């Protein structure tokens, strides 16, 4: 920035930023405000947000309905502990999520972040077996290309080759990270693993339809049906990590709903509050919950994040669900999919591009080598867009309210950057 605001100058030496080498990374862009699908910078530039602030702002920024709900809740009770107390926003949200999720995914445990929700799901699976008197089930099966968070336990179930967590190899027990069962051979390999090692495995965890931060890798619903079939055959719990895919991103409200596959546990976060406040959930099926339902206090799930079920966040999530239940998002996702497919198609012929793919409101250009994230971010900002690549992919996951004109700007920016 040519002229940084005081708050930026004073704070910059003290803020430790995410996912970058602080010494060499370009300075971040100073944000003044947000509105709809736009980020307005302190220097007056407006950027079309192509990634919805890491996939959260599905309805766009500052949506009036969500803002009103949060404002009203702020005047009533911004926060109250959830241990021994109850409040309407959380209880209403739990009942609504249970109605919207498929099957008997009826029991909602709230937290604040996606990584924590995955840790809770893992803890539920581990204790499920302990409570049923089964010892030794302490490991998980996850899948190559997957990403489930940056906390210690979630790092162990990420693809070890994805690059972010290699320094921590050996810190936590290794898990079984294997290929997704896309064909008869890989299904047989997974089945053999569960036959041989099932006595030590607490569950299988997968990102349904799209493996997000691992590279925006797509797989079809038959993979999910195979996982359900194999898990049932080998008496294993199946966990869906829908932190990215949940709330409309793939074209269905939830990937599990659209696929017809009901997992034993599902994790939610990201767009749960419409990108307004931190909130997440681990949702258990009746079978899992009943393993904890006991006269024995030792069988309880001893977990409780301080800000779990924060009333402000729950109010935002209820307002977000109002918008989803209104249904306009379905047409928007279809419109976005068509625009991304058309706008990104010419990238197939660019040097270094190995694939262009879309699903729902997701568009991906994959390269044969990792891209220069900092340099590309600067180019995209010059073109009026906020797009942050990762690994080998430049991707778009725009807010559902993004206009056709802004979608054209986003895809055009990617095409222009490739010609440079």
**Residuewise pLDDT in 10s, the chain (420 residues):** 457 899 999 999 999 999 999 999 999 999 999 999 999 999 999 999 999 999 999 999 999 999 999 999 999 999 999 999 999 999 999 999 999 999 999 999 999 999 999 999 999 999 999 999 999 999 999 999 999 999 999 999 999 886 678 788 888 888 999 999 999 999 999 999 999 999 999 999 999 999 999 999 999 999 999 999 999 999 999 999 999 999 999 999 999 999 999 999 999 999 999 999 999 999 999 999 999 999 999 999 999 999 999 999 999 999 999 999 999 999 999 999 999 999 999 999 999 999 999 999 999 999 999 999 999 999 999 999 999 999 999 999 999 999 999 999 999 999 999 988
Active site residues: 19, 147, 241, 270
Number of separate helices (H) and strands (E) present in the chain? 14, 16
Fold of 6-62+328-419: 3.90.1150
Residues of the chain with CATH 3.90.1150.10: 6-62+328-419
Query: Where do the CATH 3.40.640.10 domains begin and end in the chain?
Result: 77-326
Burial of 354 by CB count in 10 Å (0-12 exposed, 13-18 middle, 19+ buried)?
Answer: exposed
77-326: CATH topology is 3.40.640
- What lies within 8 Å, CB to CB, of 266 at 6+ separation is 101, 105, 121, 239, 240, 241, 242, 246, 254, 256, 282, 283
Q: pTM score, two decimals?
A: 0.97
């Amino acid at each position: 920035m040519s002229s940084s605001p005081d708050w930026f100058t004073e704070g910059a030496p003290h803020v430790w930023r995410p996912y970058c080498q602080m010494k060499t990374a370009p300075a971040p862009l100073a944000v003044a405000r947000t509105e709809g699908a736009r980020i307005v910078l302190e220097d007056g530039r407006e950027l079309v947000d192509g990634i919805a602030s890491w996939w959260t702002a599905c309805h766009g920024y500052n949506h009036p309905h969500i803002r009103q709900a949060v404002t009203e809740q702020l005047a009533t009770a911004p926060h109250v502990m959830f241990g021994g107390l109850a409040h309407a926003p959380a209880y209403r949200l739990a009942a609504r999520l249970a109605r919207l999720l498929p099957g008997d995914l009826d029991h909602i445990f709230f937290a604040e972040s996606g990584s924590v929700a995955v840790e809770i799901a893992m803890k539920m699976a581990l204790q499920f077996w302990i409570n049923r008197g089964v010892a030794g089930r302490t490991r998980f099966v996850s899948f190559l290309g997957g990403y489930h968070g940056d906390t210690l336990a979630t790092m162990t179930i990420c693809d070890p080759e994805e690059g972010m967590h290699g320094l921590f190899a050996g810190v936590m027990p290794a898990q079984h990270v294997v290929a997704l069962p896309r064909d008869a051979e890989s299904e047989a390999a997974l089945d053999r693993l569960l036959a041989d090692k099932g006595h030590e495995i607490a569950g299988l965890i997968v990102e349904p339809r799209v493996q997000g931060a691992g590279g925006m890798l797509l797989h079809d619903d038959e993979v999910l049906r195979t996982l359900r079939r194999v898990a049932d055959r080998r008496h294993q719990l199946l966990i869906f990590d829908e932190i990215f895919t949940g709330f409309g991103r793939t074209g269905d409200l939830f990937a599990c709903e659209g696929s017809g596959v009901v997992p034993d546990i599902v994790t939610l976060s990201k767009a749960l509050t419409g990108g307004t406040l931190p909130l997440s959930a681990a949702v258990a099926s009746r079978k899992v919950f009943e393993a904890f339902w006991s006269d024995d206090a030792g069988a309880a799930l001893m977990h409780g994040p301080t800000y779990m079920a924060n009333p402000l966040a729950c109010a935002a999530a209820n307002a977000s669900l109002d918008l989803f239940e209104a249904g306009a998002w379905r047409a928007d996702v279809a419109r976005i999919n068509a625009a991304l497919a058309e706008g990104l198609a010419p990238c197939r012929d660019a040097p270094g591009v190995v694939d262009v793919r879309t699903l729902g409101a997701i568009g991906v250009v994959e390269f044969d080598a990792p891209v220069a994230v900092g340099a590309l971010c600067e180019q995209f900002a010059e073109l009026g867009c906020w797009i942050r690549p990762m690994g080998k992919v430049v991707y778009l996951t725009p807010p559902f309210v993004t206009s056709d004109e802004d979608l054209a700007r986003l895809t055009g920016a990617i095409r222009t950057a490739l010609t440079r």
